[in-house]
A and B are shown apart, each in its own frame.
Chain A
């Protein structure tokens, strides 16, 4: 633009600004401002900048809209001419505290943009030119102030809207200054703009100090976390924003994920009470955050899925979560499939197009140069260097449209290939920090401390892929093994960095070393690509890739020996490195090297190097450098061509560092000491391509040696031992976590479950009680399991490792720990998955087996332990529920009573309560019961065909068990055989075995008893005996809750009468039967079951009125039953007294009329006799009372006279009473009752002479007939009557019968003998 025009524009702008400032009309002000903006944009930056101070004054304008427009102008103009925007930025700072929230908000968001832009600019400048412009530094000071202001805004009270944005700024700040280890797929999808990240700063930025910034980011993160924890006092909008920001941080920076997750999980504020806080929305924001986590696929998040799902369940949002999970899993699977396909494709391509790769590289080099010059492309470029240089490369190729054959290859493959995993990114980050020396150390420590242990372990394990072949040679090679260059699957070359060397270098002060070096070790290889699957593994060239030293020492046998010693002593130092086996140390060296290599990737702009070539390049170096002196010179060689060819700038970088580094190494005369110098500085790395050309033709040295399975197992085992050993000295939570992760990965790599378990056993079992061991085991298990799941192709491999490990650990618990220890159950309960063999182990534990050796004979405590485990598994592991249930049930019919009792307790008291298995349990118990019942029936029917029954029984049981648990079919079948054999000769103990469970269940569910009643009729005697043993206990247990029983009683199945009676007996034995029971039984008696014997047990509780009607049938029972009934009747209950008094019983007996009620006379007489037998009950008084009552009856009971006679027989002292009875009978004209009359006569005759008065009372005809019937009576009777006192009272007729009447002497003489006898008799008396 010509100068005059510029001047005009300037003048115009100034006048417009004046209008904007002073004009009264807001519209004019705003339109003036718009015009100013146009002018500013059209002017040269330097000219515009002259206007900036005037523009800046507008921030004092009272008009909100003016201030807002000002910010908009600043955004648009300032960003375009950043180098002149110093004034404008200061305005932003002021306005960010503006009293108007909209202005403040606007300036914060614009300020944030400036912040990011300036940061990027500074990083770019440094990368491109090695220095940073002054204006940039000044702007940055303003930005730091801006940051402080905004942070303060977030913390101070104020407008929520502004604070929310301040929080967002904090989030941005955290993201910027926390190393980005997130999933590259996500990173690439974040958008076109690649945000600055702290990892760009590797290489010692003059202004930005990564360590400080990282620690500040951490502090900021802490502030956000604190916000959450004080959410009770915050407005809802603020809380939601914090949650949202934290969620973003967690998703983008996995380092913070666990912290965020635990904070959010523990977030249960009582928001209802907070005014101005919408609790539901806050809760929902947590849900949203968790949903977002579920969609992420990096490892800490995947590992926490269970936690998340639990949280969702708690929120009643499990279905949503499941849906998301399904989506994600599907996505992951698709990606994996795609990746696999790409790999197989790529393999061929890489090999066949070796040359084309070279070509492409050459083509791209100049293009890269252009990029660096062009400021706009630069940011992208750096980004690609760190993460996806290959992508860039391919794109570039395409843009070039060159004749390079690589372009023909699907770029998609390379794309996926080029994406670095989080591990790789971390590695590059670490490498970059290492390269900074002391300055980086602090940041490195922060970084490491923030790393998830899994990530750290992944890094270590990844590096192990490059384990060198033979540890000894490795060690021997050099005093500073770290110096040796290694391979990488992606690219570049390196030398070790000074810190990395330290642990191995005896000369350097140990204090300055990085103790975390081992954990840093890693390789650039993409961990997602399993090395075993990596087709390139077969590529001979790949073998070159690893450690140089391995090859070197071969020719230096002498040297190697002492050096080796050196190293071994070093290894024993407490540095954590020492934990690693010789083999592992090898990997550490290599890793260290790789780190620096990565550093280069990160910091320098090389994207041209392709992996295979690189390796070759690297190899050349060691080959060259057999002697220290040579090495240095050799170094120059590779470097120089680069510079020449490519014209890449910086030689200067290497110089200072090179000196510094090489000195110590050199002093040591380590052959490869100079290697580090080789590309000590990032920019120098770009040179690395050069050697490739010079040394391509050299034979590759096979530095990557594939270990045999045995070897790698041994190495892995040694490594584990070392780690464990080291841990004895190092105690600390973090350390522990890292150790766990490491061990888990090692175990996954070497399939040596039992061996490793042996190694771990001691540690685990000793440690287990403090749960450290447990954590370790679980960690290992989860790792293995996740490997097994993720790795669909080789699932069997990891699954086997998993299984072996689990089983051997479990066995070691059983061997080493007391039975009371919960570790075993805990292990099974918390293991991610239980294979069949685990179930078998459990089964074995529970139902032991009589080992012929007697070693394993079932230890009851172990059984308890096993059953306890079974129970907890049933509770917590739905998948294994059936199998576990089968075990429990099997034990519940175990032949050993102790085992059985325990199992039954478990099944009935615990398992049966679980609705989901109650049915199984019931079914099983029923089947067992039926087995017991049926087997003998069959046997008795066809005793000869025992074989057949065996089969039948077996099949029945097998069916049952199989229906329950499919996992352990072989064990049940053994059991079945045993069962069937015993069934054929069923004994009472066998019956007990089979039915115990059922009866135990009956306690819980009385309605089951019905089955017992049903089968009772057909059950074999032994089984019934077993029933009878169980019933009393059961009935007593049932206690009052026998309504179920009542139902059964009210409708007893056929054939169960005996059992029913037995049950009733038990029911009434100790307690008075309830009214319900009485009513039920009576009803039963009245309706279905006419057998009165069932009433016997109840008789004592019945009233007189109830007893009397059933008395006749009772009497009709067999004598012993009647006796029992009688006893019950007479016994009565405590409060009601006896149903009938003995006298009443007698009367009742006598009331029975044989013809009518059925019982034959004989029965009645027997009954009477029975009564008389109980003389303690039917006493004299009782008889008297009964007789006294009966004699008044009309008609007299049939057996009355018989009873009288019996009474007098039994109790002769009753004679007077009987005489009274007799005389009563006389008065009742007993002679008219033909059935009683003979009895009367008999009685009279038996009771003479006491009966004489009675006889004399009889009317004459009767007397006469008696005299005739019992002639021997006459003399004594006559004698009696002849007594003056008597005679006087006798009527003549009587006397005449006796022959005492004078007028009738003739008659008496007719019977002289009679008369004399009677007189004689009378005289006698």
Chain B
């Protein structure tokens, strides 16, 4: 439990929560966030997504969706996902609104746009602690299967980073090695608190 991790995706529902649950189970100090403006979940059609504010408890979403169309949301795995989420934490959190959550050592994002948002947000914060933060992006498609794979990869990556005294010296090799082993693109950046 040396480093503190943050898993970030766009709605703090699927990818980041999958990773969050996994890392948490492995005993890592982890939190998760979304960077979108709202929490969006698939609805009956592409044009009718279910939109919630960040901070709306998972439980509430769960109940609401179950009331709306239990069949649909069971079939597309949304209910199961939210159920998993509510066992992890109370509600989705927005990265930009939770600067007060303290200092993370490593942030994993699962989408380039999210990666950019996190970096931009970190840049806009007052950087007075002179402390480094490692931000990594692993592209993961926003579906259950990919999220499961992405979560495992994130866990693996975090464990590898955890094994190092200071990640700054080894991060290039870790990233390159990861890319080689899993044939997936990984990008990292360094920002400061």
Contact = CB atoms under 8 A, between A and B. Distances in A.
Interface string A290-324: 01100100000000000000000000000010000
B172 A277 contact: yes
A1113 interface: no
A786 B131 CA distance: 40
B87 to A, nearest CB: 34
Contacts of A241: 132, 190
A88 interface: no
Interface residues of B, number: 31
B167 to A, nearest CB: 7
B160 interface: no
Given A280-B187, A281-B189, A288-B189, A165 B120 contact: no
A235 B172 contact: yes
A1225 to B, nearest CB: 98
Nearest to A240: B190
Interface in B96-128: 113, 116, 119-120, 123-128
Nearest to A292: B123
Interface string A187-225: 001111101000000000000000000000000000000
A109 B120 contact: no
Contact of A108 (B125, B130, B168, B173): B130
B131 A244 contact: no
Contacts of B126: 190-193
B166 interface: yes
A917 interface: no
B175 interface: yes
Contact of B166 (A101, A113, A192): A101
Given A161-B168, A291-B116, A284 B189 contact: yes
Contact of B189 (A160, A193, A285): A285
A1312 to B, nearest CB: 129
A276 interface: yes
A248 B169 CA distance: 23
A169 B172 CA distance: 22
B128 A292 contact: no
B116 A248 contact: no
Most A C-beta atoms less than 10 A away, residue of B124, B130, B173, B192: B130
B120 A295 contact: yes
A237 B190 contact: yes
Contacts of A159: 166, 168-169
A102 interface: yes
A288 B119 contact: yes
A161 B167 contact: yes
A112 interface: yes
A236 B171 contact: yes
Interface in B164-193: 165-169, 171-173, 175-176, 185, 187-192
Given A278-B176, A295-B120, A237 B171 contact: yes
Nearest to B132: A164
Interface string A221-242: 0000000000000011100110
B120 A160 contact: no
A169 B171 CA distance: 21
A292 B124 CA distance: 9
A112 B127 CA distance: 11
A102 B166 contact: yes
A172 interface: yes
B177 to A, nearest CB: 10
B129 interface: yes
A112 B165 CA distance: 23
B123 A248 contact: yes
A604 B124 CA distance: 30
Contacts of B131: 105, 109, 165
A160 B119 contact: no
A113 B127 CA distance: 11
A280 B120 contact: no
B119 A278 contact: no
A190 B126 CA distance: 5
Contacts of B116: 288, 291, 320
A168 B192 contact: yes
B176 A172 contact: no
Interface of A is mostly: helix
A755 to B, nearest CB: 47
B165 to A, nearest CB: 7
Most B C-beta atoms less than 10 A away, residue of A108, A237, A295, A320: A237
Contacts of B113: 320
Interface of B is mostly: mixed
Given A109-B131, A189-B124, A278-B176, A164 B168 contact: yes
Contacts of B185: 280
Contacts of A281: 172, 175, 187-189
B55 to A, nearest CB: 23
Contacts of A284: 187, 189
A292 B176 CA distance: 26
Contacts of A280: 185, 187
A284 B185 CA distance: 12
B182 to A, nearest CB: 15
A288 B116 CA distance: 7
Nearest to B178: A278
Contacts of B128: 113, 116, 191, 193, 195
A1149 B119 CA distance: 95
A235 B190 CA distance: 13
Contacts of B171: 236-237, 278
Contact of B169 (A112, A193, A235, A295): A235
Given A161-B167, A168-B192, A244-B189, A112 B172 contact: no
Contacts of A108: 130
A102 B165 contact: yes
A193 B127 CA distance: 10
B120 A244 contact: no
Contacts of B120: 288, 291-292, 295
Given A278-B175, A284-B189, A292-B120, A161 B130 contact: no
B127 A248 contact: yes
Nearest to A241: B190
Nearest to B2: A102
B168 A109 contact: no
Contacts of B123: 247-248, 251, 292
A235 B169 CA distance: 8
B105 to A, nearest CB: 11
A109 B130 contact: yes
B172 A237 contact: yes
B125 to A, nearest CB: 7
Contact of B192 (A192, A195, A244): A244
B74 to A, nearest CB: 36
Nearest to A106: B131
Nearest to B116: A291
Contacts of B187: 278, 280-281, 284
B149 to A, nearest CB: 21
B172 A276 contact: yes
A244 B190 contact: yes
Nearest to B112: A320
A108 B130 CA distance: 8
B190 A161 contact: no
Contacts of A276: 172-173
B166 A240 contact: no
Contacts of A161: 132, 166-169
A1180 B81 CA distance: 109
Q: Lowest 9 CB-CB distances: which A-B pairs, in order?
A: A191-B126, A109-B130, A161-B168, A161-B166, A160-B168, A236-B172, A112-B130, A160-B169, A278-B172
10 contacts: A102-B165, A109-B130, A112-B130, A161-B169, A164-B168, A191-B125, A193-B126, A247-B123, A292-B120, A320-B113
Interface of A: 101-102, 105, 108-109, 112-113, 116, 159-161, 163-165, 168-169, 172, 189-193, 195, 235-237, 240-241, 244, 247-248, 251, 276-278, 280-281, 284-285, 288, 291-292, 295, 320
Given A189-B124, A240-B188, A248-B123, 4 more contacts: A101-B169, A113-B130, A164-B132, A248-B127
